[in-house]
């Protein structure tokens, strides 16, 4: 029922780009406050957490300790010691390593909460227990958090209003909130809601247990082909969903991709994304290494571009996963020149199938890039992805085929 309601909301989704005249007023940050028009999202969040973990719920082994000692907890009223002890005991029992997620026995969800009729949910900081910091962004920190009444684990992103204003980044946040909160896909990071106080804006995000993909890539230097193929298949599925909703991400790169607890792709950072029903945009944005030629040299008629920009970025991503660096990495001027000519060299250790996919995506003419449906059916993807499951490890054979 909640899913249907969301789908229905989708049909009427209207996401405005601030550059086109946003619905949010710059001088009224309160309009970014409680999204009472989305009363059912928290229920959906609960249900999705329930259904994703049918027999188990996840918690951090180190989470309980962090709950006890966290300085950030000063922001919120304390939890009862018995509850903390229970959590600590469950967590300790499941602990494998201090940083890894462990699966512990499911704590029963309060059915009355989940089943209650849709009521507007007003979020505020006191509703959350704040855990360890998960990372630091440009405008604030991200914390592991847990909604007190339900135990729902999420990531709470804090953004300082003053910093947003001084960097004129309010538009970016509005875009992120408006677009991301309307998206529901297993490979797209969910935004459950938002609220604010006098100084900060808080985004309630899905917790991506394995953190930044970029860090994994740096640690491993480059991914084996089976892993790269599974990641690319998931990215393609997420992008196909976005494009169906007329959303262009425009900033696909490893830094903007997180990994869920099962190692699945979670596309995040919709700060540069745009809802473009006309499918043609004219703003220059994104990161140079991942920018397509049409956004650098403005080859398109009237200098515009469309959702095919994300296909180019997917090609760059495929290359970087397999090689360990982006294909056009160079000085700024040289990168631009090389992108404009699609001038790249694919090392010989890359398999012929992967090489074929990269070449079909990094095509100068946007209209000739391999469509996403065909990416998902490409021989390299099919070889490494078990049908119906694109997050698991490969069969022994494909793992040996690896690099
Ligand atoms: P951001 O401000 O979005 O760039 O986030 C800063 C850092 O916090 C990221 O680089 C991640 O390491 C971490 N982070 C952000 N969001 C999440 C999330 N939903 N789950 C886990 N870690 C996150």
* Residue 205 host element (H or E): strand 200-205
**CB contact at 8 A, 335 and 329:** yes
Q: Is 207 in the pocket of ligand 1 (CB under 6 A)?
A: yes
User: In this predicted structure, what is the pLDDT of residue 287?
Assistant: 60
- What does 110-132 look like in DSSP terms, one character per residue? -HHHHHSPP------GGGEEEEE
CATH 3.40.50.720 applies to domain 11-63+121-205: no
- Report whether residue 120 contacts ligand 1, using a CB cutoff of 6 Å: no
- Atom number, ligand 1, closest to the C-alpha of residue 206: 19
Q: What pLDDT sits at residue 176?
A: 83
Count, residues in the chain = 403
d(CA 281, CA 273): 11
Lowest mean pLDDT among 59-63, 70-74, 252-256: 59-63
For 19, residues 6+ apart whose C-beta sits below 8 A from its C-beta are 171, 283
Decide which of 1.20.140.10, 1.20.1630.10, 3.30.70.600, 1.10.510.10 is the CATH code for 211-401: 1.10.510.10
Q: What is the overall mean pLDDT for the chain?
A: 71
Domain boundaries, the chain: 11-63+121-205, 211-401
Instruction: Encode pLDDT of 200-258 as tens digits.
Output: 999 999 999 999 999 999 999 999 999 999 999 999 999 999 999 999 988 889 988 99
Cβ count within 10 A of residue 139: 21
Cα–Cα distance for residue pair 326/76, rounded to 1 Å: 43
pLDDT given at position 314: 97
127, 137, 173, 288 from 191: Cα distances, Å: 17, 16, 12, 27
User: What percent of the chain stands above pLDDT 90?
Assistant: 47
Q: Is the CB of 201 under 6 A from ligand 1?
A: no
Sign (positive/negative) of CA torsion 103, 105, 107, 108?
positive
Model confidence at 135: pLDDT above 90 = yes
Comparing 46-60, 148-162, 246-260, which segment has the lowest mean pLDDT?
A: 46-60
Cα atoms found within 13 Å of the Cα of residue 65, Cβ hemisphere only: 8
For ligand 1, the distance from its centroid to the CA atom of residue 400, given in whole angstroms, is 33
Is 157 annotated among the ligand-binding residues? yes
Residue nearest to atom 12 of ligand 1 (CA): 135
Contacts of residue 149, defined as CB under 8 A and 6 or more positions apart, other chains included, come to 110, 113, 127
Which residue minimizes the CA distance to atom 16 of ligand 1? 142
Q: Which residue has the higher pLDDT, 148 or 91?
A: 148
Q: Using CA positions, which residue lies closest to atom 3 of ligand 1?
A: 137
Q: Grade residue 305 by pLDDT with cuts at 50, 70 and 90.
A: confident
Give how far Cα 68 sits from Cα of 44, 94, 100, 232, Å. 29, 18, 18, 39
* DSSP, res 235: H
Predicted TM-score (pTM) of the model is 0.69
Quick one: which atom of ligand 1 is closest to the CA of 212?
12
């Amino acid at each position: 029922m909640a899913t249907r309601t969301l789908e229905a909301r989708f049909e009427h989704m209207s996401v405005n780009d601030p550059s086109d005249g946003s619905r949010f007023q710059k001088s009224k940050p309160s309009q970014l406050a409680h999204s009472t028009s989305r009363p059912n999202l928290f229920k959906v969040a609960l249900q999705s957490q329930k259904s994703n973990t049918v027999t188990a719920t996840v918690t951090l082994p180190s989470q309980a300790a962090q709950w006890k000692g966290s300085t950030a907890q000063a922001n919120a009223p304390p939890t009862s010691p018995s509850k903390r002890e229970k959590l600590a005991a469950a967590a300790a029992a499941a602990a494998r390593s201090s940083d890894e997620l462990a699966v512990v026995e499911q704590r029963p969800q309060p059915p009355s909460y989940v089943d209650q009729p849709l009521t507007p949910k007003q979020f505020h900081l006191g509703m959350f227990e704040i855990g360890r910091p998960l990372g630091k962004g440009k405008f604030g920190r991200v914390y592991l958090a847990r909604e007190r009444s339900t135990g729902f684990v999420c990531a709470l992103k804090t953004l300082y209003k003053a910093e947003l204003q001084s960097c004129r980044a309010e538009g970016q946040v509005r875009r992120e909130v408006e677009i991301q909160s309307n998206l529901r896909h297993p490979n797209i990071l969910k935004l459950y809601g938002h609220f604010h106080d006098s100084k900060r804006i808080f985004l309630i995000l899905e917790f991506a247990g394995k953190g930044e993909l970029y860090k994994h890539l740096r640690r491993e230097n480059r991914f084996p082909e089976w892993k790269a193929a599974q990641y690319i298949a998931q990215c393609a599925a997420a992008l196909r969903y976005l494009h169906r909703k007329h959303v262009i991400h425009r900033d696909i790169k490893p830094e903007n991709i997180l990994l869920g607890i099962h190692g699945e792709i979670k596309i995040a950072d919709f700060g540069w994304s745009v809802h473009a029903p006309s499918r043609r945009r004219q703003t220059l944005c994104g990161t140079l290494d991942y920018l397509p030629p049409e956004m650098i040299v403005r080859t398109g008629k009237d200098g515009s571009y469309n959702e095919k920009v994300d296909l180019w970025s997917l090609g760059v991503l495929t290359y970087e996963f397999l090689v360990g660096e982006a294909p056009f990495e160079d000085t700024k001027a040289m990168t631009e020149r090389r992108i404009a000519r699609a001038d790249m060299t694919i090392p010989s250790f890359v398999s012929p199938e992967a090489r074929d996919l990269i070449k079909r995506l990094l095509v100068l003419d946007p209209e000739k890039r391999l469509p996403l449906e065909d990416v998902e059916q490409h021989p390299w993807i099919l070889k490494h992805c078990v049908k119906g499951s694109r997050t698991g490890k490969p069969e022994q054979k494909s793992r040996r085929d690896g690099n």
